[in-house]
Amino acid sequence: MLTEEQVQKKLKKYAEDFNKAYNKGNYSAAHNLYLIALNVSTFMKLDESFMEELFGYCSDDGEPEDNPELGLFSRNVVSEVDIICCTKRNEAYEDQVMRRRGQEVDYYKNKKSALR
């Protein structure tokens, strides 16, 4: 069983990995790292000061955060990653629906190539 200090160290490492994945354009990995950190910190009921350090807000105050740039997981970056992942998921779902209906799916509609 990990101690609270070890969990906090791991969560800080997840925040570093989140930023690295975001900078490389690997948005799904970044999104997964954020969700893992959020779930673990909530499950472990970590103290409020660490939650503020990690996410930039207190989970219990219920008020909008004053500065979304605070915290190791920047709220602006997290929102951008979430939007990108949701958009990709919706596009994949639309393609599945088209295939079920027997319609042709353009697999290259979102790909950038020299020929297009």
| Average confidence (pLDDT) over 101-114 | 60
pLDDT digits (tens, 9 = 90+) for 4-59: 889 899 999 999 999 999 999 888 899 999 999 999 988 888 888 888 888 876 54
Instruction: Annotate 17-41 with DSSP letters as a single string.
Output: HHHHHHHHT-HHHHHHHHHHHHHHH
Residue 116 pLDDT > 50, yes or no? no
Count of residues making up the chain: 116
- Percent of the chain with pLDDT strictly greater than 90: 19
Whole-number Å distance between alpha carbons of 44 and 50:
12
Residue 89 pLDDT > 80, yes or no? no
Whole-number Å distance between alpha carbons of 30 and 90:
18
CA distances from residue 18 to 26, 37, 103, 114 in whole angstroms, order as listed = 9, 10, 38, 31
What's this model's pTM, rounded to 2 decimal places?
0.70
